[in-house]
Chain A
């Protein structure tokens, strides 16, 4: 299925904090243009996985290739070049609360690309319109926004620089089901429009089924199952079955999740 160089290729990725082993050998390939969803319980290391791929954390061991290029151990300026391929929607949106909404969306354009503020503002308004936000929202401070609006602004900021790869960290967590579905739709539209590769992490199965072409399950620091969305019902893996059906009984002990 993966023809040509994968957009993201992880091999034997390890990460621990002190004595706590979070990732213990993750292997994963993501093809260009594919939308993959990584599922796993709270604290299973999903965010740590994304932060390693993006270079916000350094893995202890293993290899990360972006477009075939090894990024582990890369120098700062090289790293910044690779970073320009990425966009990310953070779990809590991660908006800069010292700046108004439009400057949040335009931040990368102004700071990283050196675009004039007026021009960046026009583009910011376009991106905001794309996620259903009017220009009047632009002057508000992030503190004045509801959870769903923050996610929209975070999404607009993530797509503003037209990244090749977008990461979504629990995009629907903390939203009501309807708002969650609206965000899902927006994510699908934005990714399609950009033709980007998407890596989403979530524990919301409805969202996973909707956004993903493929689902991978992270458990015990490894990917224990990986396959097309349609096949997850027939995964024949007791861990996956327990997780997607949300059962208390099963091989995953609550204490470790």
Chain B
């Protein structure tokens, strides 16, 4: 009995937190669908998420593609190395690493920034001020970020896919001495539409999750600067874990038996 009570308490707290997050998400999504819309704010967030994340996502992708080619060469050198490497690089990048790594980088960059900005607005009463000026904070703050996150991460992942494959190409051609045309043809032959589509669906979900966690933790932050710092950390950690969990779930849905 004395062991069960604390477990029960933790479980109930978990259920309560999940319920609160679920309600927050539903309210946020419902405001995405109902006017008035704020195109200026959506545009601003899209630039912030899409454009300014390009360098960080591009660098992540190129090094990942390069290291994939290098590592697979060590493993496949004795077999049909050329075609194996092209396949490993393009499939890993489009299906898994493109969306997951872009998601994680954006969680660190954007999720943290959202939590810090909205959290500061909360503790300095700017969110209360919005409400008193007859502007729903879900409509003004949350919905534009959810929309921008969901739309822009797939765009980033398209770029990451291309740069990642290019990274593998660089290593294969200039370091391993493969024929460039054969490598590209093999890459193209291995690639199925579903690989890219599943990656883009993942990216959409991850973009939504990053924005949701940033907004949720910022919105509920309290207690001054320390509270905002905590909200920022929680936004990044929870978004990263959710990205990895949903990556598994979506992979199962697309490719599971």
A139 to nearest B CB, angstroms?
Answer: 18
Provide the bound-state CA to CA distance between A213 and B63, in Å.
Answer: 71
Q: Does B128 touch A at the CB level, under 8 Å?
A: yes
Q: Is the CB of A83 within 8 A of B125?
A: no
Which chain B positions have C-beta within 8 A of A111?
133-135, 140
Choose among A86, A91, A96 the residue that contacts B132 (Cβ–Cβ < 8 A).
A86
Which chain A positions have C-beta within 8 A of B135?
107-108, 111-112
Which chain B positions have C-beta within 8 A of A97?
124, 126
Q: Is the CB of B126 within 8 A of A96?
A: yes
Chain B 114-140 per-residue mask, 1 if CB under 8 angstroms from chain A, else 0? 000000010011101111111100001
Q: Is the CB of B124 within 8 A of A84?
A: no
Q: Most B CB atoms within 10 A — which of A55, A86, A111? A: A111
Choose among A84, A92, A96, A157 the residue that contacts B134 (Cβ–Cβ < 8 A).
A84
Provide the bound-state CA to CA distance between A112 and B132, in Å.
Answer: 10
Which chain A positions have C-beta within 8 A of B126?
94-97
Provide the bound-state CA to CA distance between A91 and B124, in Å.
Answer: 9
Q: Is the CB of B129 within 8 A of A83?
A: no
Q: Is the CB of B124 within 8 A of A94?
A: yes
Provide the bound-state CA to CA distance between A96 and B125, in Å.
Answer: 9
Provide the bound-state CA to CA distance between A86 and B132, in Å.
Answer: 7
Q: Is the CB of A56 within 8 A of B124?
A: no
Provide the bound-state CA to CA distance between A95 and B128, in Å.
Answer: 10
Chain A, interface size category, equals: 20 to 34
Provide the bound-state CA to CA distance between A107 and B126, in Å.
Answer: 12
Q: Does A54 touch B at the CB level, under 8 Å?
A: yes
Which chain B positions have C-beta within 8 A of A56?
128, 131-132
Q: Is the CB of B129 within 8 A of A112?
A: no
Residue of B nearest to A84 (CB): B134
Which chain A positions have C-beta within 8 A of B132?
54, 56, 83, 86-88
Q: Is the CB of B124 within 8 A of A83?
A: no
Provide the bound-state CA to CA distance between A107 and B129, in Å.
Answer: 10
Q: Most A CB atoms within 10 A — which of B126, B129, B132? A: B132
A200 to nearest B CB, angstroms?
Answer: 16
Which chain B positions have C-beta within 8 A of A90?
125, 128-129
Q: Does A51 touch B at the CB level, under 8 Å?
A: yes
Provide the bound-state CA to CA distance between A54 and B124, in Å.
Answer: 17
Choose among A87, A94, A107 the residue that contacts B128 (Cβ–Cβ < 8 A).
A94
Residue of A nearest to B44 (CB): A98
Interface residues of B in 205-225 (CB under 8 A from A): none
Which chain B positions have C-beta within 8 A of A108?
133-135
Which chain B positions have C-beta within 8 A of A86?
132
Which chain A positions have C-beta within 8 A of B130?
96
Chain A 25-65 per-residue mask, 1 if CB under 8 angstroms from chain B, else 0? 00000000000000000000000000100111000000000
Q: Most A CB atoms within 10 A — which of B125, B130, B140? A: B125
Provide the bound-state CA to CA distance between A182 and B131, in Å.
Answer: 28
Q: Most B CB atoms within 10 A — which of A87, A92, A94? A: A94
Q: List 10 A-B contacts (CB under 8 A).
A: A54-B132, A55-B131, A88-B128, A90-B125, A91-B125, A94-B125, A94-B126, A96-B121, A112-B133, A157-B133
In the A-B complex, the 8 residue pairs with the closest CB atoms:
A112-B134, A94-B125, A94-B129, A108-B133, A90-B125, A111-B135, A88-B132, A56-B128
| Residues in B lying within 8 Å of A, measured CB to CB | 121, 124-126, 128-135, 140
